[in-house]
Amino acid sequence: MYLDFFGLRELPFTLTPNTDFIVDLRGFQRAFSDILQALAGGEGFIKITGEVGTGKTLLCRQLLNKLGHPFITAYIPNPFLTPDGLMLALAAELNLPLTADQGRDYILTQLNNKLISLKQQGKKVVFLLDEAQAMPVESIEALRLLSNLETESEKMMQIVLFGQPELNDMLNRPTLRQLKQRISFSYVLPMLSREEMSSYINQRLAKAGFPGVNLFNNKAMDELYAASAGIPRLINILAHKAMLVAYGRGETRVSPVHVRRAMEDTGDVKIDRQRAQPQQKGFRWPALVLACVTASVITLAISQWLR
């Protein structure tokens, strides 16, 4: 790999949500700060949405790492569960040995007793659900039942939903309006601006041990931003591949050529050509049509010459 070639201690652009590589970005830090304030204020439901690859799972992991006393966290990474399965998963996170054959009423009673016990110990339970847009509708409705576990003055448990924008569509269904009304705090994770992307890349390189500056030149950054649309996951994929191309060619700086080669190798890349280059005026033949027309002209010319 290219670690020694670029003077790195570790790979700077992996896809694993590694909290050691969290960088100082306004949108991410604001989301984290606002969630902490909402939790401290006792808000019942909190919703965080964002496009695929904008850092929702990383934010969730950061919360798991940073929430200390008096918070106790219960984490469900993939909540594609039945209502009973969701309640049992929460019970397991709270070290309650329950089974499905004990019935939903019994499970809810035991969860309530556990939450009361934790509350009496001065602890606050936070239930974190990642990829919440994948939850069956009936399981989301079950969350409302769980949110009913409360005292006269406060919630027994706070619930944080992380999901793609499809989660909003789901919550807009009339059957889920009661749950939607209970969401007291919402935040949308933004995509990065061009300046933020440059900071993101350089900070990650520094955390990985890169000894220099400007490994990616400005034009390479422009290409990378146009291709990624400011989505961190795509930035990671393309930056890693571009560094591989530069390494393979023995070049110590990443140029637009390396980024374009990375783009060609990435099938699901979002390419915004209007930002990548000035818009051409006038009608342009699609490449395939132009090739076919050219081939036809050549064939006709050859046939005329052979007569």
Query: Chain-wide mean pLDDT for the chain?
Result: 85
- Amino acid making up residue 167: L
Q: Per the domain annotation, does 292 fall within a domain? A: no
Domain count, the chain: 2
Based on the domain organization, do 31 and 171 belong to the same domain? yes
Rounded mean pLDDT, 38-51: 91
Q: Per the domain annotation, does 301 fall within a domain? A: no
CA distance 144 to 50: 23
**How many helices and strands, by DSSP H and E, does the chain display?**
14, 5
More confident residue, 203 or 78: 203
Based on the domain organization, do 181 and 236 belong to the same domain? no
Digit-coded pLDDT (tens) for 252-276: 999 999 999 999 988 655 544 333 3
Based on the domain organization, do 120 and 210 belong to the same domain? no
Flag the least confident range among 155-164, 174-183, 223-232, 282-291: 282-291
pLDDT-above-90 percentage for the chain:
71
CA distance 164 to 17: 16
CA distance 142 to 178: 12
Q: Per the domain annotation, does 139 fall within a domain? A: yes
Based on the domain organization, do 98 and 204 belong to the same domain? no
Q: Per the domain annotation, does 4 fall within a domain? A: no
Of the three residues 172, 188, 204, the one that is the final residue of a domain is 188
Whether the Cβ atoms of residue 36 and residue 160 lie closer than 8 Å to each other:
no
Residue 47's nearest CA partner among 186, 178, 190 is 186
Q: Which residues pair with 47 in a beta bridge?
A: 161, 186
205 lies in which domain range?
A: 192-276
Tokens of 201: 């890349």
Of the three residues 188, 210, 236, the one that is the final residue of a domain is 188
CA distance 208 to 122: 40
Rounded mean pLDDT, 98-117: 92
Model confidence at 303, pLDDT cuts 50, 70, 90, reads very low
Q: Per the domain annotation, does 298 fall within a domain? A: no
Question: In sequence order, which residues have a C-beta less than 8 Å from that of residue 67 and are 6 or more positions away?
Answer: 39, 73, 126
Q: Per the domain annotation, does 17 fall within a domain? A: no
Overall residue count recorded for the chain in this entry: 307
- 140-173 in b/e form (b: 16+ CB < 10 A) is bebbbebbebeeeeebbbbbbbbbbeebeebbee
| DSSP-derived secondary structure letter, 158 | E
Our measurement of the distance from residue 108's CA atom to the centroid of its chain's CA atoms, rounded to an integer in Å, reads 32
Based on the domain organization, do 49 and 151 belong to the same domain? yes
CATH number of the domain to which 96 belongs? 3.40.50.300
CA distance 90 to 128: 10
Based on the domain organization, do 218 and 109 belong to the same domain? no
Question: In sequence order, which residues have a C-beta less than 8 Å from that of residue 262 and are 6 or more positions away?
Answer: 237, 238, 239, 240, 241, 242, 244, 245
| DSSP-derived secondary structure letter, 254 | B
- Amino acid making up residue 207: K
Q: What's residue 275's pLDDT?
A: 34
Of the three residues 188, 206, 238, the one that is the final residue of a domain is 188
CA distance 115 to 109: 10
Degrees to nearest 5, angle at CA 174 with 170 and 176: 60
- Amino acid making up residue 283: F
Based on the domain organization, do 99 and 233 belong to the same domain? no
Over the Cα atoms of the chain, what is R_g? 26
Q: Taking 80 as the threshold, does the pLDDT of residue 302 lie above it? A: no
Q: Per the domain annotation, does 304 fall within a domain? A: no
